[in-house]
Structure 1
């Protein structure tokens, strides 16, 4: 079935984007991807919305990548969705036995009936199964709507004092677990492990759309995502790209290294500079770069793996981050799903060596990661793709009124448990803020 495509010109992209997001509330299957106009390499669009399933696939981790490969090959269209962290069990002989209160399926993708993309002042509507003048009518409906605009920076706090955020791992227990990871490192079992902890709220009702708007407004990351699958929601302010395919070029951009922002510009510039020179943060990043070089080499043309940038510091509204860019070239015959499978789960959320780190993580963490530290993204009809890393995110199951957000840090031989705990609290700051204000 062919897509019907229409191009429209708009005067105010920011306002149209707000109207478009509000319009998406009527659909039970939604993927919203927003670059927030962040000036980054390899950006394809400003904003993209996919809604309403034409076809879909939902599965647990068992043979998940083969099922996705078959679905993507048969569809040969745009498909949007996610791969949860626990699909690692399809790649290696691993298990996920920690408690799960969110109950997201391990893998979900759908072929959207309606796909809308914004780039500068151009909007492209791409519809399947078109009914009469539905496309033009939708554009008019979106254009004529009144957007709900709230200044989240200055609005008064809501009455959320009764909302109690609980910790799955308390500070003393966290210190003990990081010490255990350091023991593994000193014995030579691993070099680095990304250790995560969950914060959660029970018996909670939230407006997921408004909460996402707030989270996005105070963060403005380049890989922001809102995902809805019926009563399951992801509200993500992710700054990190996992992996992208542009024709034969593969791009991975791991983040390792975090520093807080300061209001005073002199102090802010200094801490960003200090981050760029920090031996511990650089060693974290370089270890993961080496891991990703190895992962990409599994599908790359010989000699094509290249580190385009190493340990560059980027500034976001909440934090400074150290980012590297690793690229490779693949043959035309290489299936796009195989490229993802050979690199999954992403190195920045695991450790090195990867399999050993994954086993230690599973033993010490107290909750199943699920979609956290998994990935959301899309495939194009010609086999290109782009996927983020699900961090700085709120996960919500509306049916059982359970809300969760997790944070982590990379533990290396130079780690100090107290400082790692402080880094986790820094990363949790934006999610805590939107939940309590």
Structure 2
């Protein structure tokens, strides 16, 4: 495990924006992801270190009592045991679990080889948050202050162009035809150069997505900017609830069109069945239920279909037990989970890192909430690089061109400010 050094590093200065607007481009692969933390020291700088914008409440954390992290699968269980002990001591806990941590919970869950320098797990304990506010009240002044700060971001470049992406969709259709899978959550990465105020960019992303499970984690050279709208699980030690998000439509379509889409309903229902099965491993007999099915949620750039699965957990269930039963979330793997994760590994051929993993908040007396880390940007401030993952569930009825358009729709948040400014400028020019 790595030793943590707190504070003592100068902040990165703001960088003025260039006059050219960032764009999302597909084709040429630009930048890789790496970071130099091999020395065993991870420095936290540019306070605040952690912002958790969960459930319409903002909590800011600094100066952790203890930090746990590892890049080794064999150390994950021990960290979860330490975190469980901290939970029992009524401490606040925040942290993340990367997608590549999956074999720590079930060894047959196949993932790409993780990067040696990106932690699979990172958790920190705190006595209390240094600041707490209801989002929408005390937020405005802070937001305006961050907007005044600046950053510079290059054009986003996708790892795969449309032709290669659609070829992979055809490969998935072949796997479905052979009965190897029913649905594959296939994704790719977009990359950009990034300098300046990553917290300001986080606020811009949050404005674009309005995700109920957003988080900003300053982990030294790595910064995690997650504006996830998806709940992995919420658990109070007894009742557990998950809310898989499957089914997407752009704002050019209607909510009702998404609600009535047979393809999206089938896609959503497959994942609901998978999560019911996962949850049953830790649930008391007869308590797993689906109180809400095919709900439509609206966001600034798209519509999403969600369902709710809930249960009562068995006595003595631990945090590790929950992850062993349910991680990774079925909505970002597909079904069946084990065989589908093999397909994902063979097609994507690189780690997802925090993308499709989970970020969580544990509060004394309030239980715990973990998101599905979608709509998430990972910034490497040392390399001045940013990476974003996007994709969707591929079924037999999926059209390769439509799936590519869905990927574009889910990437619109990356340049939301530029799109908004352009519309406002056009509107003013036409008056």
Pairwise TM-score range, normalised by the shorter structure: 0.7 to 0.9
Return closer, same or farther for 1:95/1:339 CA change in 2, 3 Å cut-off: closer
Q: Given the alignment, which residue of 312, 318, 341 partners 2:324?
A: 341
1:315 Cα shift?
Answer: 1.1
Gaps of 5+ in 1: 1-24, 36-42, 124-141, 263-267
State how far apart, in whole Å, the 2-side matches of 1:278 and 1:387 are.
Answer: 29
- For the residue of structure 1 that corresponds to 2:317, the secondary structure is coil
2:289 matches 1:275: no
- For the residue of structure 2 that corresponds to 1:332, the secondary structure is coil
Which residue number in structure 1 is paired with residue 354 of structure 2?
A: 371
2:271 matches 1:288: yes
State how far apart, in whole Å, the 1-side matches of 2:134 and 2:242 are.
Answer: 25
Tell whether the 8 Å contact from 1:92 to 1:355 is kept in structure 2 after alignment.
no
> Which deviates more from structure 2 when the two are superposed, residues 397-406 or residues 375-384?
375-384
Which residue number in structure 2 is paired with residue 133 of structure 1?
A: none
Return closer, same or farther for 1:294/1:27 CA change in 2, 3 Å cut-off: same
Return closer, same or farther for 1:165/1:334 CA change in 2, 3 Å cut-off: same
Return closer, same or farther for 1:53/1:280 CA change in 2, 3 Å cut-off: same
2:405 matches 1:422: yes
Which residue number in structure 1 is paired with residue 297 of structure 2?
A: 314
State how far apart, in whole Å, the 2-side matches of 1:278 and 1:366 are.
Answer: 32
Output the aligned Cα RMSD: 2.9
1:112 Cα shift?
Answer: 2.2
State how far apart, in whole Å, the 1-side matches of 2:357 and 2:152 are.
Answer: 32
State how far apart, in whole Å, the 1-side matches of 2:329 and 2:418 are.
Answer: 28
- For the residue of structure 2 that corresponds to 1:149, the secondary structure is helix
Which residue number in structure 1 is paired with residue 382 of structure 2?
A: 399
State the TM-score, normalizing by the size of structure 2: 0.79
State how far apart, in whole Å, the 1-side matches of 2:366 and 2:313 are.
Answer: 12
1:389 Cα shift?
Answer: 0.8
Return closer, same or farther for 1:410/1:363 CA change in 2, 3 Å cut-off: same
Q: How many residues align?
A: 372
Return closer, same or farther for 1:111/1:158 CA change in 2, 3 Å cut-off: closer
Q: Given the alignment, which residue of 191, 201, 224 partners 1:200?
A: 191
2:50 matches 1:31: yes
1:105 Cα shift?
Answer: 0.7
Gaps of 5+ in 2: 1-43, 422-431
2:40 matches 1:49: no
Return closer, same or farther for 1:214/1:150 CA change in 2, 3 Å cut-off: farther
1:416 Cα shift?
Answer: 0.7
1:342 Cα shift?
Answer: 1.0
> Which deviates more from structure 2 when the two are superposed, residues 422-431 or residues 381-390?
381-390
State how far apart, in whole Å, the 2-side matches of 1:55 and 1:99 are.
Answer: 25
> Which deviates more from structure 2 when the two are superposed, residues 335-344 or residues 297-306?
335-344
Which residue number in structure 2 is paired with residue 171 of structure 1?
A: 162
Which residue number in structure 1 is paired with residue 201 of structure 2?
A: 211
Which residue number in structure 2 is paired with residue 73 of structure 1?
A: 84
Which residue number in structure 2 is paired with residue 131 of structure 1?
A: none
Q: Given the alignment, which residue of 136, 144, 147 partners 1:149?
A: 144
State how far apart, in whole Å, the 1-side matches of 2:123 and 2:151 are.
Answer: 35
